[in-house]
Structure 1
Amino acid sequence: MSIEPGAVRDLARAVEAHDGVAAFSEQTLLNLTSSREDVEHLPGLDGGALVADGQLDRDSAELAVHPDHRRHGHGAALLEDLLGRAPGVRVWAHGPHPGAAPLAASRDLSVVRELWLMTAPPPTQASGPEIPGDVVVSTFEPNRDADDWVRVNARAFASHPEQGRMTRADLDARAAEPWFDPAGFWLARDAADGALLGSMWTKVSDGIGEIYVLGIDPDAQGRGLGGLLTAVAMAYFAGRDLTEVELYVEGDNTPAIRTYQKAGFRRRRADVQYART
């Protein structure tokens, strides 16, 4: 079904202003103007006005209902439509929304995944870490690094349902966003052969610094690169006028959570996915 991206973004802003949590993920909003054929848009209309919206992106889905039109069955209707199209779909609930758990339970859906939001105060130490001699750290240059990054990102997130699917087109779409800054995007390469070992991609928007993507090639695990690149990012954040630093991490990724805890991050909330088990 055709959609009006502006109307969906207006709906998303109204939901976030009311709930205090973003209605949709970044990828869902980017999908509004993409030409991908594997994404289905499910607008919920009332008298011709958009009062709810859902999106099915392969085996994952999101839905939101305008605060002024809740408790009228729009959310239940969207969920039924999603489950009818993809019975095994995983449906996101962002933050501890009071209506999410009862609605999921009414359709025999259970929590199958947690995505933690972790936050930390803005760092004050602006000096970066000492880079070991067997590693070279440089900032991102699209013509030189883009294809290498896509390849290693796929290896680093081979089992991740969203991040591991990123294509060159996905990278280019994000690089075209107003917040993108290659000065906050680093790649660690082997000093001997130039092989890409890992990367740290950060995002700064509205006074919030985010560790956007940290990925280490499986063959480079155990070299301390995750902690090294996190320290590089924190030093970069110290030079910005920020109110907070945040990141998202899988709730069952214990090694990554330990790395972030050492850097001062603490869990604030969890976004969850519901599915039939």
Structure 2
Amino acid sequence: MVKKLEKELQNGKSQFSVSGTVSIKSSTFPEKDENGNLKETVSEKSGFSYMRVGFPVTASDNQSVYVTLFGGHNPSSPEKDVVYATDAETKKSTKIKWNLRNNKEVLSKLADWSFIRIRIEKDENGKLIEKRFLSAIDAIAYLEQHLQDKMNVYVSGTVDYSEYQGEIQRNYNVSQISLNEISEDNEPRKFAKMKQTYLVDDKALPKKWENELEENGKVTLALYVPQYEGGNVKKVVPLAQDVTVRTTKERLDKTKKLIKLLFIPSGKAVR
């Protein structure tokens, strides 16, 4: 039986997790208004009101991930003054009115992955307190009060890609922040990981990639990531994303076998 080849790209895995030390500066969060609330940035063109915050989480001397929170709403238009979430029963996207984003009855009907989950406070018994936020704006306001510089945290979320001025940018969007767990040696765990679906064609590798790997101990692969684009596109498109594979003399042969297995598709197919 001949398998039917998919003609439309589908989203794959695109997730990250990092465990390490957070760096918070005086400029990390937006300025406050006269009432002590963080100021939202308002687009003059659309009226969209939003907050964007980013900060690095350092796992080691050569591993640091710059994570971001971004969210907003449109108070100038009742129809657009909403937060998007997923209905727990239907698993479909749904709009929540901005003034109902903290309504317990409304929130009880939403899927868990609709929320940004934060656990950086402890109760009187030393147990972590979980806070859930439908809007990144509310999550940012909470972090401004409780997230401290040099705090050991675990952060996870999704990765997305966008094209800006001819370059592909990669964004690490926060879904969860928690105080770091302590390992058996009483030290916080530190690591940085990413799970990503890549598209591979017959042009992924340089012609003399084996020589390059032997001489330099590394080779750069020309891959693509499937990324949904909204606006006028409204479909998943391939965006270029280079990946460097490194090796040592001891692992050279194994690395070559792995590259041949994963990154050399048969014929003109895209893996």
TM-score by length of 2: 0.26
Higher relative contact order (CA 8 A, sep 6+): 1
Higher relative helix content:
1
- Which of the pair has more CA radius of gyration? 2
Higher relative strand content:
2
TM-score by length of 1: 0.26
